[in-house]
C-alpha cells in the first residue's frame, strides 16, 4: 500500500523538486513483492564488477565491496528522482574502458585514469541535460545511425560471451540453458499463451530473469562448472576506511594529459549510453501503449541529469569501470513485460523500478546472500549480456522503416561490433557519411522526409534483370 494513490489515467504522485520528481516507497508507490525477490537475486550482477576492480584498479576485495555499496546508492536514484528506467552500467562500453585502463599501472595511476574518464562522462551528460540538447539529440540523429548503434552494441555484447575463452566457452552448459529459459519466460509467444490459463506460469513470469538464473545456477553446480558456495552468516562489512586509499582524495588528481587521453573513450561511452536511452524508452512506450491507467513522462533531459549525478558520485567515491549507465537492459525488459500485464501485477513503472533497486541495496548487507552467490557471479553477468544482445537487436531492427535504413544500420552495426577501441567512432562516422549519401533526396539543404521512398518503393524501383 502507499499513502498517495494514483487516479485512473493520471501520472504517478510525486513531490516536485526542480527538474526532478521525488517518489518514495509506501508514500508515492507501493512495494512490489516480485521486484523485491528479483532484487535479492539480481544484485549479484553489481558484485560482478569486483574482479575488474581488483585486477585493473589494484584494490583488495574489501575495498571493492565498499565501492559496490556506493554503486547501490546510485542505482536507487533514478526511481527516486523521476526516471522510469531501471539503471545499470554502460555495459557494452566495458571492453573499451578496460583497453583504456590497460595503459595504466593498477593502483594510484589507474585510479586517476578512471576518475578522469568518469568525470568526463559526467560532464557530457550534465551539459546535454542542462542545455536540454539531450532530448533534441534523440530527434536529430538519423534513425539508421541510432538503430545501427543499438544493434551493434547488442552484437558486441554477445560476441564477448561467444569468443574463445569467453564465459560460454568455459561454462557452456549452465549459461546456454539459463539463457534459453530466461528468453522463453521473457519473450516466448507460446509462454504468453500459457500464462493466460496457468497461475503457476504467471508466477514464474512475475520473476522474469530470476527463473533462468536459478536454473543456470543449479545446472552449473550439478555439472561441476561452478564450485559450491561457502555460506557465511552475519552482516556484510565493507571496509570504507580502506576504500579511501583508492580515491582521488588520497591519490591526487590526474595530469592534463590523462584527461586528454580519456576523451575518446568518454565519447564512445556516451554514444553507447545514448543507444541505451533509446532502447529504454522504446520498451517503456511498448508497455505504455497497453497500460492506459498511468501516464509515463518520457523526459530524456532528466535521464541525462540523473546519469550525470550518478557518474559524479562514482568519480569522487567509487571510480567504476562499468560507468553509470541509464539502463540495465535485461532487468528493465523484465520489469516492462510484467508492467504490461496490468495494474494488479504492477501498480506503477516507478513502483517496480524503485522496489527492485532498494531491495538490491538491502541484499548487499546480507552476508549469507553475498557468500551464496559469490561462486556464480559470472552467470548473472552472462545472462544480462546475452539478453541485452537480444533486446538490442530486437529494438534496433524494429525502428528501421525502409530498406535503405536497414542497409545503413547493418553497416554501422558491423563496424561498431569490431574488436577495436575506436570502432564506435568509426561506426558513427561511416553512419553519417552513408546517411547523407544514400538516405537524403538532396545532399544539401532541407528535404521533405515524406519524399523518401518507402522500403517497398525502393525495392520495386530496382531494375528487373530477368
pLDDT tens, the chain, 466 aa long? 678 888 888 999 999 999 999 999 999 999 999 899 889 988 888 888 888 899 899 999 889 999 999 999 999 999 999 999 999 999 877 877 887 898 899 999 999 999 999 999 999 999 999 998 887 776 778 889 888 888 887 888 788 788 877 788 888 999 999 999 988 988 888 988 888 788 888 778 767 778 888 899 999 999 999 999 889 999 998 899 999 999 999 999 999 999 998 987 888 788 888 888 988 998 898 888 888 899 999 899 999 999 999 999 999 999 999 999 999 887 898 899 889 988 888 999 999 999 999 999 999 999 999 889 888 878 877 887 888 788 888 888 988 989 999 999 999 999 888 877 677 778 888 999 999 999 887 766 665 555 544 444 444 444 444 4
Strand 10-11 to 294-295 pairing? parallel
C-alpha pair distances (Å), 412 with each of 142, 146, 159: 12, 9, 16
CB atoms within 10 A of CB 285: 12
Buried b (16+ CB within 10 A) or exposed e, 207-227: bbbbbbbebbbebbbeeebbe
Nearest-5° angle of CA 152, CA 309, CA 13?
Answer: 95
- The count of residues in the chain is 466
Buried b (16+ CB within 10 A) or exposed e, 142-177: bbbbbbbbbbbbbbbbbbbbeeeebbbeebeebbeb
412 part of a folded domain = no
Q: What pLDDT sits at residue 334?
A: 83
d(CA 301, CA 103): 34
Q: What pLDDT sits at residue 158?
A: 86
Helix (H) or strand (E) holding 294: strand 294-295
- Cell readout for 86 is 531501471
241 part of a folded domain = yes
Q: What pLDDT sits at residue 459?
A: 47
109 part of a folded domain = yes
Q: Which residues, at least 6 apart from 94, have a Cβ–Cβ distance to it below 8 Å?
A: 52, 321, 322
d(CA 109, CA 104): 6
Q: Which residues, at least 6 apart from 302, have a Cβ–Cβ distance to it below 8 Å?
A: 19, 20, 81, 82, 83, 129
Q: What pLDDT sits at residue 350?
A: 95
> Quick one: which of 312, 302, 328 has its CA closest to 128?
302
CB atoms within 10 A of CB 62: 14
CB atoms within 10 A of CB 418: 16
CB atoms within 10 A of CB 442: 10
Alpha helices, H only, 199-327: 199-206, 209-222, 240-243, 248-251, 256-290, 300-317
- Structural domain count, the chain: 1
d(CA 51, CA 312): 22
Q: What pLDDT sits at residue 466?
A: 41
d(CA 97, CA 320): 10
215 part of a folded domain = no
Q: Which residues, at least 6 apart from 253, have a Cβ–Cβ distance to it below 8 Å?
A: 112, 115
Phi, psi torsion values for 21, nearest 5 degrees? -130, 110
Strand 15-17 to 20-22 pairing? antiparallel
60 part of a folded domain = yes
CB 336 within 8 A of CB 353: no
91 part of a folded domain = yes
Alpha helices, H only, 399-447: 403-416, 423-434
d(CA 350, CA 295): 11
What 3-state class would DSSP assign to 324? coil
CB 434 within 8 A of CB 144: yes
Q: What pLDDT sits at residue 421?
A: 61
364 part of a folded domain = yes
What range defines the domain where residue 354 resides? 15-140+156-167+230-261+277-376
52 part of a folded domain = yes
d(CA 229, CA 375): 6
CB atoms within 10 A of CB 264: 15
What 3-state class would DSSP assign to 366? strand
CA torsion sign for 436, 441, 447, 451 is negative
Alpha helices, H only, 291-376: 300-317, 329-339, 349-363, 367-373
C-alpha pair distances (Å), 399 with each of 1, 54, 143, 147, 240: 38, 40, 7, 7, 45
Q: Which residues pair with 294 in a beta bridge?
A: 10
Q: How many DSSP H helices and E strands does the chain contain? A: 24, 4
What 3-state class would DSSP assign to 9? coil
Residue 232 Cα to chain centre, angstroms: 31
CB atoms within 10 A of CB 325: 25
CA torsion sign for 343, 347, 348, 352 is negative
Amino acid at each position: 500500500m502507499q499513502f498517495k494513490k494514483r487516479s485512473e489515467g493520471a501520472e504517478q504522485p510525486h513531490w516536485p523538486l526542480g527538474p526532478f520528481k521525488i517518489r518514495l516507497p509506501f508514500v508515492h508507490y507501493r512495494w512490489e513483492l516480485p521486484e523485491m525477490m528479483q532484487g535479492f537475486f539480481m544484485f549479484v550482477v553489481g558484485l560482478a564488477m569486483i574482479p575488474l576492480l581488483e585486477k585493473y584498479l589494484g584494490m583488495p576485495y574489501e575495498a571493492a565491496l565498499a565501492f559496490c555499496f556506493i554503486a547501490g546508492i546510485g542505482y536507487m536514484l533514478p526511481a527516486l528522482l523521476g526516471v522510469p528506467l531501471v539503471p545499470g552500467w554502460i555495459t557494452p562500453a566495458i571492453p573499451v574502458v578496460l583497453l583504456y585502463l590497460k595503459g595504466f599501472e593498477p593502483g594510484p595511476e589507474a585510479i586517476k585514469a578512471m576518475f578522469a574518464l568518469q568525470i568526463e562522462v559526467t560532464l557530457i551528460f550534465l551539459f546535454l541535460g542542462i542545455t536540454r540538447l539531450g532530448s533534441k539529440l534523440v530527434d536529430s540523429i538519423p534513425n539508421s545511425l541510432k538503430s545501427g548503434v543499438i544493434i551493434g552494441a547488442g552484437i558486441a555484447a554477445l560476441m564477448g560471451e561467444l569468443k574463445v575463452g569467453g564465459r560460454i566457452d568455459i561454462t557452456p552448459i549452465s549459461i546456454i540453458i539459463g539463457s534459453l529459459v530466461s528468453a522463453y519466460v521473457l519473450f516466448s509467444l507460446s509462454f504468453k499463451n500459457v500464462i493466460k490459463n496457468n497461475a503457476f506460469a504467471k508466477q514464474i513470469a512475475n520473476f522474469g530473469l530470476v527463473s533462468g538464473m536459478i536454473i543456470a545456477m543449479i545446472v552449473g553446480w550439478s555439472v561441476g562448472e561452478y564450485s559450491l558456495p561457502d555460506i557465511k552468516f552475519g552482516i556484510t562489512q565493507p571496509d570504507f576506511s580502506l576504500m579511501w586509499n583508492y580515491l582521488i582524495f588520497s591519490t591526487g588528481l590526474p595530469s592534463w594529459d590523462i584527461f586528454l587521453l580519456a576523451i575518446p573513450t568518454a565519447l564512445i561511452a556516451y554514444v553507447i549510453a545514448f543507444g541505451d536511452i533509446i532502447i529504454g524508452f522504446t520498451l517503456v512506450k511498448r508497455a505504455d501503449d497497453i497500460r492506459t491507467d498511468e501516464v509515463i513522462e518520457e523526459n530524456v533531459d532528466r535521464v541525462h541529469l540523473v546519469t550525470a549525478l550518478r557518474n559524479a558520485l562514482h568519480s569522487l567515491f567509487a571510480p567504476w569501470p562499468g560507468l553509470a549507465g541509464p539502463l540495465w537492459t535485461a532487468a528493465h525488459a523484465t520489469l516492462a513485460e510484467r508492467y504490461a500485464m496490468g495494474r494488479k501485477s504492477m501498480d506503477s513503472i516507478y513502483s517496480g523500478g524503485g522496489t527492485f533497486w532498494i531491495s538490491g541495496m538491502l541484499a548487499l548487507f546480507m552476508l549469507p546472500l553475498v557468500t551464496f552467490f559469490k561462486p556464480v557471479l559470472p552467470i548473472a553477468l552472462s545472462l544480462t549480456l546475452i539478453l541485452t544482445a537480444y533486446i538490442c537487436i530486437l529494438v534496433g531492427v524494429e525502428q528501421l522503416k525502409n530498406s535503405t535504413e536497414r542497409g545503413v544500420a547493418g553497416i554501422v552495426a558491423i563496424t561498431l561490433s569490431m574488436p577495436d577501441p575506436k570502432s564506435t567512432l568509426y561506426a558513427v562516422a561511416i553512419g553519417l557519411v552513408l546517411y547523407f549519401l544514400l538516405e537524403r533526396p538532396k545532399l544539401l539543404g532541407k528535404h521533405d522526409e515524406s519524399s523518401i521512398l518507402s522500403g517497398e518503393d525502393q525495392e520495386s524501383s530496382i531494375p528487373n534483370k530477368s
